[in-house]
A and B are shown apart, each in its own frame.
Chain A
Amino acid sequence: MEQKFIFLDHTADAKFQAFGRTLEEAFANAALATASLMWDVDSIPKRVRYPFGVRGRDLEQLLVQFLQEIIYLFETKMFLLGSAEKLKIRESDHEYSLDAVFSGDDRRERYNIFGEVKAITYNEIKIEKNDRVTLQVVVDI
């Protein structure tokens, strides 16, 4: 199986690269990388679904807004992401939008939470589109 994401060294925080054949696939893998800093993503069943949409003035902002949704849902709904599905990215005049569904569990007490992601940053953010897509993100932990 192809690698979904890798972590790179960063003094104060966590830096990862997420990969995909399409932007959507790379975004979904970036969501898994972010969640994997907090809990074991593979152990989360798909009990609850959160459909949502975000917008961004460019792809970088779209990515940051998308990943921030994970923190928001965890802190306010105790929702633990297991997978990101049905991603659809659209580009219109001066704006990008993304619709997606997060699947996971909202029974926080059942899982070991071993890390905290405070914020998604623009620091060293990169979006590269060649034969496959590579996203690089630094998150504040």
Chain B
Amino acid sequence: MELRKINDFVWEIPKQGEMKVPALIYTSARLLEGVKRDLTLQQARNVACLPGIQRMSYVMPDAHQGYGFPIGGVAAFDLESGIISPGGVGYDINCGVRLLRTDFMENDISAKRKELLAEIFKEVPAGVGKGGITRLSRSVLKDILTRGAEWAIEQGFGTKEDLLMTEENGRMKDAEPDFVSERALERGLPQLGTLGAGNHFLEIQKVSEIHDKDIARVFGIQTEGQVLVMIHCGSRGLGHQVASDYIESMENKFGVKGLPDRELINAPVRSPLGQQYYKSMCAAVNYAFANRQMIAHWVRDVFAKVMGSSKGMRQVYDVCHNVAKIEKHEVEGQTRELCIHRKGATRSFGPGRVEVPEAYRSSGQPVIIPGSMGTASYLLVGTAEAEGLSFSSTAHGAGRLMSRHEALRRFRGEQIRDDLRKMGIELQSTSWKGVAEEASGAYKDVDEVVRVSHEVGIGRLVAKVVPVGVMKG
């Protein structure tokens, strides 16, 4: 496959064969080595062949091989001639990240760090097959799928201000729970308000470097050493089932002939099946918003109990990084509505976009990039240039480099805990095997991912944060 270097951070797969547009890869020489080792580039090229794709098939700096679409893939489709694909969103619909700021400094919590983490571990259900604390009826679940975080706020899990500081205000309005299968509902019932397992985590963090003081202040980050809380999870079994269900329905409706990878199965955006998937996906997005809202509420409760106050624990923002949306973008000088897929990619709207909360409208939206377990995470800001460069999108995390299998061979969970403790980081987990699988050595270097995002201009560096306490599902 031809891969042309454009500059130190941009490579292109020129349009050839069945490709309708070129593929553009934002990376560095070092990250590209990892990308070349798996099927990422081939998958980016496959995406470029899909009907109605606009401009480019984009690949973010943390990209790795996914199913059908690469993880870290961004693609926008025309609403009339284009498609929507469950594989372009991913199985964990609205996997995302929520960041809370606090008025506490590292010193304030150092003596109570262990207790804080232990209490959070008690309050927030995590791990595999662990149910949530709420017993839901089907009708309540459907209400949650319709109203997302709004439902959670109404039930007392947080404040109206949290909604303003959530992508889509915590609710995608196109959600239609009647298009969500019975099986997906059944999987969703016991899992609301749970963190889950895998790469999902909850961290107590401190600000370690501030790169842009003015914007940091707008986001509520005043000083190094300030304590933050980051929550990374998604729509659990409900979202996974929605993806599986619609992959099956689309296969049955359209067949799989001619697809280079069955996970690229798709439906025209405007077709009944395309719309049903979109509206179910929105319902799963809402489930995940409600989920993170509840978890954030319990974290505040724990701080109130252990630290005596949760005052000042404002939400910086909540971002989705597995989602498809209808957004307005510029194509060939015209503003058009497109169906944009971000799979393992974060929206990075710059100043002025109406979707960005008023408080951030002159700065650009906060972009939250979680690192791998126990390593640095980053707070970035969306840029105006990102519109032209990546349909306003950037990376979503570190991106896996090594298989879980390989990680298990190389790392031991207990050893990782001891190593982290020496660095002053507490760790609690439901599974040592899970800890080993998520070892930071199995991931790409998040510092390098963020550097590329910053240099390219698709998301600019605001602050670096490091964990002091990690809870892994």
A75-B67 CB under 8 A given contacts A11-B401, A65-B248 = no
From B430, which residue of chain A is reached at the shortest CB distance? A113
Report if B65 contacts A (CB, 8 A): yes
A61-B251 CB under 8 A given contacts A11-B403, A119-B240 = yes
In the bound complex, how far is the Cα of B402 from the Cα of A58, in angstroms? 32
Report if B66 contacts A (CB, 8 A): yes
In the bound complex, how far is the Cα of B406 from the Cα of A136, in angstroms? 19
A108-B403 CB under 8 A given contacts A61-B251, A75-B191, A114-B431 = no
The answer to whether A123 touches B252, judged by C-beta atoms less than 8 angstroms apart, is no
The answer to whether A11 touches B91, judged by C-beta atoms less than 8 angstroms apart, is no
The answer to whether B400 touches A12, judged by C-beta atoms less than 8 angstroms apart, is yes
Stretch at the interface among A23-31, A43-51, A66-74: A66-74
Select A119's contact among B71, B191, B243, B401, beta carbons within 8 Å: B243
Report if B451 contacts A (CB, 8 A): no
Select B91's contact among A60, A64, A74, A119, beta carbons within 8 Å: A119
Number of interface residues of A (CB under 8 A): 36
The answer to whether B251 touches A115, judged by C-beta atoms less than 8 angstroms apart, is no
From B127, which residue of chain A is reached at the shortest CB distance? A113
Chain A residue numbers with a CB within 8 Å of B406 are 9
Report if A76 contacts B (CB, 8 A): yes
A120-B244 CB under 8 A given contacts A76-B186, A76-B187, A113-B129 = yes
The answer to whether B261 touches A115, judged by C-beta atoms less than 8 angstroms apart, is no
In the bound complex, how far is the Cα of B244 from the Cα of A38, in angstroms? 19
From B261, which residue of chain A is reached at the shortest CB distance? A123
List A1-17 residues whose CB lies under 8 Å from chain B.
7, 9-14
The answer to whether B248 touches A9, judged by C-beta atoms less than 8 angstroms apart, is no
The distance from the CB of B37 to the nearest CB of chain A, in whole angstroms, is: 8
Report if B22 contacts A (CB, 8 A): no
The distance from the CB of B249 to the nearest CB of chain A, in whole angstroms, is: 11
Report if A128 contacts B (CB, 8 A): no
Select A75's contact among B92, B187, B402, beta carbons within 8 Å: B187
List B188-247 residues whose CB lies under 8 Å from chain A.
189-191, 196-198, 237, 240-241, 243-244, 247
For A9, A10, A74, A75, the residue with the greatest tally of chain B CB atoms inside 10 Å of its CB is: A75
**What 0/1 readout, one digit per residue, does chain B (84-102) give for beta carbons within 8 Å of chain A?**
0000000110000000000
The answer to whether A76 touches B64, judged by C-beta atoms less than 8 angstroms apart, is no
A116-B65 CB under 8 A given contacts A38-B128, A65-B248, A122-B262 = no
Q: List residues of chain A with CB under 8 Å of any chain B CB.
A: 7, 9-14, 38, 57-58, 60-61, 64-65, 68, 71-72, 74-76, 78, 108, 113-116, 118-123, 125, 138, 140-141
Q: List residues of chain B with CB under 8 Å of any chain A CB.
A: 37-38, 64-68, 71, 91-92, 127-129, 183, 186-187, 189-191, 196-198, 237, 240-241, 243-244, 247-248, 251-252, 256, 261-263, 265, 400-406, 431, 433-434, 437
A9-B403, A115-B433 known; 7 new pairs, CB 8 Å cut-off, are: A12-B66, A13-B403, A65-B248, A72-B241, A114-B434, A119-B91, A122-B262
Q: List, sorted by A's number, 30 A–B pairs whose CB atoms are closer than 8 Å.
A: A7-B405, A11-B37, A11-B65, A12-B65, A13-B404, A14-B404, A38-B128, A57-B251, A61-B248, A61-B251, A72-B186, A72-B187, A72-B241, A74-B129, A75-B129, A75-B186, A75-B191, A115-B197, A115-B433, A116-B196, A116-B197, A118-B92, A118-B198, A119-B243, A121-B91, A121-B263, A122-B263, A138-B67, A141-B198, A141-B404
